[in-house]
Chain A
Amino acid sequence: GAGVSQSPRYKVAKRGQDVALRCDPISGHVSLFWYQQALGQGPEFLTYFQNEAQLDKSGLPSDRFFAERPEGSVSTLKIQRTQQEDSAVYLCASSLTTGTMNTEAFFGQGTRLTVV
């Protein structure tokens, strides 16, 4: 596709329910990032993949959060036993390469998760 695609755009989950958020990065992009953005705040880093390798997951807020990118393309962010504090927009971004180049990240439209 032409850009980063995320699905679903909106998700309402009951507290305790498991959810899976999907990200289709731009084809050929090596790096993939997940961010959590609360209302009125900047994106908070969750995790980072280089191809299929998860190089950094230091931002995942708890062990209920899990991300994978098994074939180095599509990624899934899974949240188990959702809590109200998980309500936020989850943004996925991809970039072509890593390193010192101007490798701007392209963001998807995000998934707005509301836990009720």
Chain B
Amino acid sequence: GQNIDQPTEMTATEGAIVQINCTYQTSGFNGLFWYQQHAGEAPTFLSYNVLDGLEEKGRFSSFLSRSKGYSYLLLKELQMKDSASYLCAVRDNTGGFKTIFGAGTRLFVKA
């Protein structure tokens, strides 16, 4: 089975840096995704990691350690529009390639 844990809520200040952690347990790890979801909207893709290390994409970076079952999403130079839920998702290749989502971390960016 799969289990994904991430904090329920976080608050940060505009212009600051925030790190959202995710731990997971899965029987057939095949990649980890981060998605952003604004209230009432569909999730949108942010990043993908399948090998250990840091992937950087503009203000967003994502890190993966497969041995620790751990990932984080780093958001720099926070903007008010970054207030959203951030979903950690793990693709499992047991019997296919389904992607399992965590409950999401609601990020509030304050001025």
Contact = CB atoms under 8 A, between A and B. Distances in A.
Interface of A: 31, 33, 35, 41-45, 48, 50, 55-56, 91, 98-100, 102-110
A102 B104 contact: no
Most central of A42, A55, A106 by chain B CB within 10 Å: A42
B96 A104 contact: no
Interface in B77-111: 85, 87, 95-104
Interface size class of B (residues with CB under 8 A): 20 to 34
B96 A56 contact: yes
Contacts, number: 56
B96 A50 contact: yes
B33 interface: yes
7 contacts: A33-B98, A41-B104, A42-B87, A42-B104, A48-B98, A100-B50, A106-B45
Chain B contact residues, majority secondary structure: strand
Interface of B: 30-31, 33, 41-45, 48, 50, 85, 87, 95-104
Given A45-B98, A105-B33, 14 more contacts: A33-B99, A41-B103, A42-B102, A45-B100, A48-B97, A48-B98, A56-B96, A56-B98, A91-B43, A98-B96, A102-B31, A102-B50, A104-B48, A106-B45
A43 B90 CA distance: 12
Contact of A99 (B87, B97, B102): B97
Contacts of A44: 101
A31 B97 contact: yes
